[in-house]
């Protein structure tokens, strides 16, 4: 006999669609939600509202409720575009308060083996933004992974072809790190990227 009520079975199935949520975690989440019904109602409303109101900015592809997004509407931003893989990365860059330009969200990295080419990302839109002018620099801030590096190299070629000034964020030791714990790739890059001191 199936002891789980139909609405719980349905909820477990929906939760299992989430990344990293297996059957056991799903049931645990259900239990928690059922123990706190007020919280569950609030969560349902929050999921529904976000799904309804959130879209991508048609210029920079950031997640936004208004199109164009607040950054694209902000006339005080500098003519620099920071290219990132996903909105999370843009949020992280913005949180540093070091960057006062605009963003461009690629939507992932090139992955030819899985059928992800430039057309699956927002590459053409990025090239178009550069061609429209007013862009002094494009900072490639894809992740320091094999895929992120390959994507950055592809973008650099495509952007140089339309005359853009392209840079790549620096690789090196993370702040607060310990040299003896750093992996070889990181340490090699930190050495290669050394800068003169006065």
Distance CA 122, CA 126 (A): 6
> Based on CB atoms, which residue is closest to a second copy, 64 or 151?
64
Please calculate the CA angle 154-128-100 and round it to the nearest 5 degrees: 85
∠ CA 103-177-167, nearest 5°, is 30
Q: Does 30 bind a second copy (CB under 8 A)?
A: yes
- Pick from 45, 124, 161, 185: which binds a second copy (CB under 8 A)? 45
Residues in contact with 40: Cβ distance below 8 Å, sequence separation at least 6, in sequence order: 33, 34
Which span sits near a second copy by CB under 8 A: 32-40, 114-122, 124-132, 152-160?
A: 32-40
What residues numbered 96-125 form the site for a second copy, per CB under 8 A?
Answer: 103
* Structural tokens at position 34: 């059922």
Q: Which stretch binds a second copy (CB under 8 A): 46-54, 115-123, 139-147, 160-168?
A: 46-54
Q: Is 64 in the site for a second copy (CB under 8 A)?
A: yes
SS3 68: coil
85, 109 Cβ separation under 8 angstroms: yes
74 part of the interface to a second copy, by CB under 8 A: yes
- Site for a second copy (CB under 8 A): which residue of 22, 70, 79, 134? 70
**Where is 165: in which H helix or E strand?**
none
Residues interacting with a second copy, by CB under 8 A?
A: 1, 3-8, 10-11, 13-15, 17-20, 25, 27-34, 36-37, 39-54, 62-65, 69-71, 74, 86-88, 90-91, 94, 103
């Amino acid at each position: 006999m199936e002891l789980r009520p139909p609405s719980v079975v349905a909820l477990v199935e929906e939760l299992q669609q989430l990344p990293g949520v297996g059957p056991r975690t799903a049931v645990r989440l259900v239990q928690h939600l059922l123990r706190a019904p007020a919280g569950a109602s609030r969560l349902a409303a929050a999921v529904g509202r976000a799904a309804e109101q959130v879209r991508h900015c048609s210029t920079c592809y950031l997640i936004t409720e208004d199109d164009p997004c607040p950054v694209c509407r902000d006339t005080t931003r500098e003519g620099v575009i920071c290219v990132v893989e996903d909105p999370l990365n843009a949020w992280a860059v913005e949180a540093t308060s070091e960057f006062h330009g605009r963003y461009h969200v690629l939507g992932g990295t090139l992955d030819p083996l899985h059928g992800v080419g430039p057309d699956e990302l927002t590459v053409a839109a990025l090239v178009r933004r550069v061609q429209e002018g007013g862009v002094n620099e494009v900072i490639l801030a894809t992740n320091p992974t094999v895929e992120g590096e390959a994507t950055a190299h592809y973008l650099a070629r495509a952007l140089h072809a339309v005359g853009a000034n392209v840079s790549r964020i620096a690789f090196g030791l993370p702040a607060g790190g310990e040299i003896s714990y750093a992996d070889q790739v990181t340490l090699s890059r930190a050495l290669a990227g050394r800068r003169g001191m006065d």
